[in-house]
Structure formats: structure tokens, C-alpha cells
A and B are shown apart, each in its own frame.
Chain A
Amino acid sequence: MMGRTTLAAAVITTCVAAMPAAGYAQNVIKIGEVNSYKAQPAFLEPYKKGMELALDEINAAGGVNGKKLELITRDDNANPGDAVRVAEELVSREKVDVLTGTFLSHIGLALTDFARQKKFFFLAAEPLTDKIVWDNGNRYTFRLRPSTYMQVAMLVPEAAALKKKRWALVYPNYEYGQSAVATFKKLLKAAQPDVEFVTEQAPPLGKVDAGSVVQALADARPDAIFNVLFGADLLKFVREGNTRGLFQGREVVSLLTGEPEYMDPLKDEAPNGWIVTGYPWYGIQTPEHKAFVTAYQAKFKDYPRLGSVVGYSAIKSLAEGIKKAKSTDTEKLVAAFKGLQVDTPFGKITYRAEDHQSTMGAYVGRTKNEDGKGVMVNYRYLDGAKFLPAAAEVKKLRPAD
């Protein structure tokens, strides 16, 4: 009996070894990527292109540790349950070496917890929620993109400098909007104690009744507005605001609005003078960014969006980390990522050892409507490292590993 089993095993092993795919598999590093492609195509199509560009560059240069990188993407149907299933599939069937991806915060959190439970390395590329590195942070999860907290913190000094007393707040009614506004209120109150928040509107995500909301904001007679709406909500809000004169004589501070994903669809409605975080790809003159844009445009005949930078940098980060760890072993990767430095189109970033957050920053500037198209002007790059709490404070926010 024993003999027969052994024989069978030998036969199978021989067959498997003879298959070219299996031989090939030994020489690749598999990156499993999970994202809401069908639900968030505007951000994620450029993101995917960014990943492909990075992959091409790395593999053209001989790969990592002598192995080629292979990317396997999966659609999570914008549903955490499905996301966990496809993550399981990537891990158990595709035998990926690392996991990355996710856009929506709750899916990012579900995979963060999955990584903790399965002790599997996960690089959260995009989800903004602070919880990924703080409340729900864990040993196996790192995050690339600047968090909600960081982006709001970058805007607060600008907001305080306006010296406006009466602020109105408008945000989509879910965790991202809520925590952005909570952080904004807390930090601005600290920077400018006499500030007053005169009204708050929290329309459902994607379903803003823009006319009513704009009027309610105007009726509160604020001096300035802090906006967290994005996507279709932002377009409706800006058009109604323009028609109803909401923005006349008022300062607006707006999160993410300078990203091409959200700015470009505004076309000739693009507002003037808003203080925003974003990505002015058309004006960034650093050599690393120029090289990135040139390569991107050559490959895709399209200009990059912020998603492209995130996707590109995520793959670059993984490659750097694996190179530093000299392995795809989870524990070695975790160790390598602590303090890992990566060159990205935005310059050098570091994955902080204390909270696993990268120091990737964002551009902050004013919007301008230039010939019927929105652009950012007077922008500067703010390094994320300067907007993160110190190690001691982070320790309080984060559960022990």
C-alpha cells in the first residue's frame, strides 16, 4: 500500500515538474492584488496602468532577487466578503507571495484583519482610513498612500492662515467623510481657538441633493467652507454652488479636489482659488517625476492620474521590500519594510517603523480655471513625514503587535 502511494506521488511529482508553468513558477514572485475595479473605475483604471508600468520597468531590469514579478489582480466587487474570498484564493490557489491593493476603506480594513489572522504580508495601497495603521494596525499590514489624517493635517495650516471665523462643513456620510471632518475640526480648533463651525451637511455618498445642500450652506452665512465631497457629488456640488453663488467671496478648503480624477471632469466649472490637496502632474519638475510621466505617456498615450502614481509606487515598494528582505518570507518582509526607503515619482518615501505608514506626501495648492480646465497653481509638495504624529503618540493609537 505504502509503496503504491509513494509510486503515485513520484509519478505526480515528475509530471508536475515536467510542466513548464511549474518550472516557471519557481522563478517568479507573485503579487496578489485585490481591488474594486468595477465599482471605482475612474481611479482604478489609471492605478492598474501604474502598476503595469512599474512591473515592466522592474522586469526589464531583471526582476527582483533574480526572479521576475508577476501581478495577479482580482475584483472584489466592492464587498469585503468577496474581498476576503479572493484574498484566500490568491493565497491558497495562486500561491501569491504578498497581497496588496484595495481602495475602499472597509475593504482595506477587512484585508488588514485578514493579514493579521493569516500572518500574511499586506500592503494597503490606497484606502485612506486612519484605522489601517492605528486602531486596527497590525504587524503584517503597511500602507502607502497618505491617510485621511495626513491630508487633512496638510490643509489645516492653510485653513488657519485664512483667519476665517465661521466655517461650514460638507462631507459624504460615511467613515472617510466623518473622520476627515472630525480631524479638521480638532486640528483647526487647536490652531485657531476662536473658530466656529456654523453648519454641517452630510449627504449620502453619491446621492447629494446639491441644490438643497448648497442653499443650506449659504444660508448659514459661513466665511469659509471645508469640503470632503468627491466624484459625482463634487461635480454636482460645484455646479450648483457656481449657479447659486455659494463660492463668491468665500474661501473653500477641499480635500483631494486637486487630483486629476476629480478635477478634470469639472471642465469649465472648475473653481478658482480653492485650497486643495492633489496631483498637478503637468507641472512637477523633479527628474524622477518627469521620467515617470514620460514613460507613462509613452506606454499608454495618456497622462497619469494620482491613481497611476499610487499603483506605480505600490509595486515599486513591494519590489524594494522584497529586495531588501532578500526573500518573500512574511517575517523577513515585515522586518524589511520597517524603515524601508523607496524611490517614487514623488521622491523618496519611508515606511515608518512605528506605525507602518509611508511618508508619501501630497501636493497642496490653489485651484485655477485655466481656459475652461481646472489646474492647480502655487502648489508645493508636503512631505507626509511632517504630518504624522510622533512615535510616542502613535504607540497610544496602535494596539501592540
Chain B
Amino acid sequence: MSFSSFIVQVLNGLAGASSLFLVAAGLSLIFGVTRIVNFAHGSLYMLGIYVAYSLTESVGGGLGFWPAVLLSAIAVGVLGAVVEVLLLRRIYHAPELFQLLATFALVLVIKDAALWIWGPEELLGPRAPGLAGSVSILGRQFPSYDLFLIVVGPVVLGSLWLLLTRTRWGTLVRAATQDREMVGALGVNQAWLFTAVFALGALLAGLGGALQLPREPANLELDLHTIGAAFVVVVVGGMGSIPGAYVAALLIAELKALCIWLGVVEVFGFTISFSKLTLVVEFLVMAVVLVVRPWGLMGRPQAPSRHAGTVEAPLRPVDNLFKAGAALLLLVLTVLPALTTQTPYVTVLMIDLLIAALFATSLHFIMGPAGMHSFGHAAYFGLGAYAAALLVRSLQLPMELTLVVAPLVAAAGALVVGWFSVRLSGVYLAMLTLAFAQIAWAIVYQWDTVTGGSNGLTGVWPSAWLADKAAYYYLTLVLVILSMLWLKRCLYAPFGYAMRAGRDSPLRADAVGIDVKRMQWVAFVIAGLFAGVAGALFAFSKGSISPESLHVGKSVDGLVMVLLGGLQTLTGGAVGAVTFTWLHDTVARNTEYWKAMLGAIILILVLLFPQGIAGFVRQIIYGKRDEIGGRA
């Protein structure tokens, strides 16, 4: 660990920062102006590298590399514009965050499309002509292409800065980042501004991908591997701040290089592997930055969006029609195992559906009424599941007792994370919950002796009297129904109203004596508790538990369920969960390209039901009543 090796690692970090910055810059632009959480940004990056690969292959390498990089970026930019015009533009007026669902579907479609077009194998591109070799720096061979990348980052940063500060278009973009309604009021065609921004963002993602061609192979994992880091950079830098994105990219890339440089270190007799820390270092940075600076390093407080979609309709007392429907559903659920003895899989699937419904309902509880968009809700599901597994395996607690204790562990986790998170709002809150969830995931993934590490824990089966699937189904049914009824009751109670009040108008809430942050904190803990119930039920239904249960993928599934069902409808979480899980099961069984199929179905649902499925049904049945405001 000499000083010269440190210097070269700093250079490595600079090259890494440039790569990271290019993806993040586009995401930050899109995020800042359109408020779209563009999950597909990583997919656009991935397409950039694939397209560049094909172009260089077709022109036979050599000097064709450079035009291929540019053409690839442009192609991805055009695709971005098409996506914006054909898809996103139609759903800007949907409730907040709904566009996330559309971009999630795009991720699925693009991934399968790439598999279909380019096949499953990793595709290693050519080295860049003229920059194929290395130069000697401090006695080490340093790739000349990395030197080029070190320059590219600041050059793109400078160009973007000029574009944003020296052109009329740039002024509009900056204005829209601060207050997008204002730009609309100024008579600027907001639609085309959004299209242009989305196209530019996509182009930058494509460029970022294409420029990586000499450094890494095009492969189908790039989308998800990229998107997480890119979001972290955007948020750490401050949403909408391009220089902030560069600073954040630099910070994270250098910290990673530093960790790798340190390698395995002995401190006070403990062996610390800094190399292993690279698994989660960006999320640690994000957690620290957001706790200290709630709007990122160079961001500003988010202007409250005044016309963020449609206003939620007031809660109405449950009417007889709904009661009759619920009673019928409950009856069907009760007799289901008896009706399906010939097809016992129905019971198995129903257990999964019920657990998913409770998980999504617990997330809906804070996302909808309290307006807190948690991107890390799987943490509490996973905590509940792991707590259940550990209590049964290590402490030999009776399984029935763990169903009570495990949710409390999840709630305790939510208590800690909630304390930090409710100080923030909007996307920053979402990203802080994600950071904590990923840190929890990394701990579970690494702590072999306790959590079983990446393999997880097995042998988590229920007590003998529940071994039969039908018995376990009834246990799940009772717990899930009771939980959901209580959550619903809670939303109709003063606490639920106070959450909605705090979301609708924090100022007014404060002026009538409501401590909004405290309400949110309590809501966060309640949501964590019930996610923990779902997690514990899940663990015993599967007999094993693995880090996936608290990974960001699970959190995203939760978001997708809630948005699909309808953020503004009480039953939205449950309806979305059942739809998504059932679709997933059916489509995956019957289709080879099931990801694309699932994505396409979600896209159709997105376009048909911008209020979510439950929201749509509600509108059909109760639309008139909501409008005139009669008490039904």
C-alpha cells in the first residue's frame, strides 16, 4: 500500500467517476424536470453498449469505433424520445410516481428484447482504436482509454453546463427543475420540453453505455447493475444538479477505489475487508449524506409540486355493495381449499397471493395516505422473515410465538429507519429508505455465521399441525385478513385522517396541532410491523429464506403492486399484489419470453388504468358519487 499505488487508484477512481457521471447526468436531468423516476435508465445504458457493439462489429472494428459510439448514443436518444411521446406523455396526469410503473415495465421489455436480439452470451467489444494500450504512470501500466475517460467526464459536464446556462432552452430546463408549472404558465410548450429532456437524458445514458464498450462486455445484467448506482449518484449530488452529480460520482468512485486499495486490513486485532465493503459503499454514502444534508450535496429543497396529478377523493363509508362483495370474497376464500382438493396448487398460490397482498397493503399504508414513498419496504418484510427463521432455528422458539415476535423485530427496524427518514420528504425520503434497506441487505448477505450469507437459511418449516398446506392457508388467511381489516380501520380512524391531512397540507396540519413528522414515524413503524407479519408468514410457507427477501428487487415489486392496484384507492395494494403475483406466476409458466410479456401487460394496464386497477373499478362504480360528493 504505497503512496504511488494510492495515486494510481485515485486515477482509477476518476475514470470510474466519469462512467458513473454520464449515466447519472441524464437521469438527473429527467428526474429534475419531469419528476419521473426512470427505472429504465439502466436499460437505456445497456442498449447503448449493445448497439455500439453491433455497430462496431458491422463496420469491422478499427476507426469505425468512434462513429459507432456516437451513433449508438443518438439511437438511444431517439428511442428515449419515442418512449416519451408514445408512453410517458399519456400518463403525466396520473397520480404521483405512476410513471415509475411504466418505466419498470420497459425494463422488463428491453431486457427480453436484448436477449432475443443479442443472445445470452456476454459480448466483449473491441478496444478503442488509438487507445488500446497503456501508458506508464509511476511505474505502472495505466490504460490510455481510462485517461480518455477521465477527460470525457468533465468535458460532458462542461458542455451540459454551457447548454443549461447559455441557451434559452437550458434556461427553460433549469426553470422547469425549480418549478415546472411556472414554465407551463410562461407559454412554453411543456410537452416538447419534456420530450427533449427525456431524449437528451437517454442520449447521455446511451453515450455512457457505448463508451464502456472497451471496458466491459455487453451483458443482460447491466441494466439493474447500473440503475441503482446511477440513482444514488443523482440523489447524493442533489436532484437536478448536474455538477452535484459529478461531485457525487467522484465521491463514490474514489471511495470504492480507496476500499479496493485498502483491501484487507487488520485494525485492533479485527480483520476488516474493505474490498467486501464495495458491495454497499454507495448506499452507505447515500445514507450519511441524506442524514446530514437532506437535499443532497448540491441540491435545493424540492419545490412542492402543485399539480401532481389528480387529487385523491375523500374516504367514503363502506357501503353495502362493498360489504356484500367483501363477504362473498371471504366466503370463497374460506371454502377454497375444500373446492380445490383436486388442484392443491391453488392453495399454494393463494398463500403467496395473500402474503403479497399484506406486504403491498402495508406499503400502501404509508405510500398512499401518508404520502411517504418507501423504496426500501422489503427491509421490514425481510427482517420479519429472518427474525422468524432465526428465532425458530437458534432460539428454538415455538413457531407460533415467532409469528408474534418477528413482526416486532421488523417494527423495531422501522422505528430506527423511520426516525431518520421522516425528516426528509419526496424522493429523498424514498432514497434514504432504500439506502437503509440495502445496508440491511448487505449485512444479511455477508453475515454468514448468523444469517447464512448469500445462501440464506433453510429448515424454517411451520409446526406439525400447520404442515398441511390447507392448514397453513387458513393460518395465513386469518392473519392477513385480520391485519388488513385493522389497517383499514386505522385509516378510517383519526390516525388515518391525520396522515392524509399531513400529506395534503403539512402547513395546515401543523396549524391545527398535528405533529406531522411524529404521525409519519408512527405510520412507518406500523407499516414495518405488518410487513414483518407478511415476512414471517412467507418464511414458514417456503421453509427457507434468502437475502432476496429484503433486496431492492422485492421493494420494487412492492411499489409496482401498489401503483398497479392504485395508490389512491384503499384496496389498491391488495388488488395490485394479487394481480402482479398471479400474472407473474401465469405468464412465467406459459411463456418463454415471460419478462417481455409481463412488461407488455403492465404497459397496457398502465395506459388503460392510470388510476390503477382498483382505482379504475372504483371510478366505474363510485365515480358519480365522488364527483357530486353525496354520502352514499
Contacts and interface: CB of A to CB of B under 8 A. Distances in A.
A and B: partners? yes
Interface of A: 38, 41-42, 44-45, 74-75, 77-81, 84-86, 88-89, 92-93, 105-106, 109-110, 112-114, 117, 129, 131, 136, 173-175, 178, 199-204, 206-207, 209-213, 215-216, 218-220, 231-232, 235-236, 239-240, 243-245, 261, 264-267, 269
Contacts of B448: 175, 178
Given A85-B352, A106-B454, A235 B216 contact: yes
A219 B9 CA distance: 11
B256 A212 contact: yes
A110 B594 contact: no
A236 B216 contact: yes
A42 B121 contact: yes
A201 B259 CA distance: 10
A41 B115 contact: yes
A93 B321 CA distance: 35
Nearest to B538: A81
B120 A41 contact: yes
A202 B273 contact: yes
A218 B140 contact: yes
Contacts of B12: 209, 211-212, 215
Contacts of A117: 461, 543
B475 to A, nearest CB: 17
Contacts of B8: 215
A269 B111 CA distance: 27
B242 interface: no
B275 A42 contact: no
Nearest to A79: B548
Given A84-B544, A244-B140, A109 B263 contact: no
A79 B584 CA distance: 13
A209 B545 CA distance: 30
A174 B445 CA distance: 8
Interface string B253-279: 000110011011000000001011011
23 contacts: A74-B588, A75-B588, A77-B584, A81-B549, A86-B589, A88-B348, A89-B585, A109-B544, A110-B543, A173-B279, A199-B264, A201-B263, A203-B278, A204-B279, A206-B221, A211-B215, A213-B260, A215-B12, A216-B275, A235-B216, A244-B140, A244-B142, A265-B217
Nearest to B445: A174
A92 B141 contact: no
A110 B544 contact: yes
Contacts of A266: 124
Interface string B213-228: 0111101110001000
Nearest to A176: B454
A215 B458 contact: no
- The interface centre, meaning the residue of B115, B122, B134, B276 with most chain A CB atoms within 10 A of its CB, is B122
B343 A93 contact: yes
Interface string B65-106: 000000000000000000000000000000000000000000
B219 A245 contact: no
Contacts of B548: 78-81
**Top 6 A-B pairs, shortest CB-CB distance:** A41-B120, A113-B458, A93-B345, A174-B454, A212-B260, A92-B344
A173 B447 CA distance: 12
B16 A211 contact: yes
Given A109-B456, A232-B217, A207 B225 contact: yes
A216 B140 CA distance: 11
Interface residues of B, number: 77
B170 interface: no
B335 interface: no
Nearest to B217: A235
A51 to B, nearest CB: 15
Interface string B489-532: 00000000000000000000000000000000000000000000
- The interface centre, meaning the residue of B221, B263, B538 with most chain A CB atoms within 10 A of its CB, is B263
Given A80-B456, A80-B544, A117-B461, A236 B348 contact: no
B345 A201 contact: no
B165 interface: no
B610 interface: no
Contact of B546 (A110, A136, A211, A231): A110
Contacts of A105: 454-455
A218 B257 CA distance: 14
B551 to A, nearest CB: 9
Contacts of B151: none
B358 interface: no
B346 to A, nearest CB: 8
A216 B263 contact: yes
Contacts of B2: 219
B595 interface: yes
A178 B453 contact: yes
A89 B349 contact: yes
Interface in B237-293: 256-257, 260-261, 263-264, 273, 275-276, 278-279
Contact of A243 (B143, B349, B553): B143
A202 B276 contact: yes
B13 interface: yes
Contacts of A240: 143, 215
Given A84-B542, A173-B276, A265 B345 contact: no
Interface string B452-469: 011110110100000001
A185 to B, nearest CB: 13
A110 B9 contact: no
B543 A113 contact: yes
A209 B584 CA distance: 34
A199 B263 contact: yes
Contacts of B453: 174-175, 178
B595 A235 contact: no
Contact of B220 (A41, A89, A201): A41
Nearest to B258: A212
Contact of B260 (A77, A88, A174, A209): A209
Contacts of A75: 588, 594
Contacts of A202: 273, 275-276
A216 B120 contact: no
B221 to A, nearest CB: 5
B595 A38 contact: yes
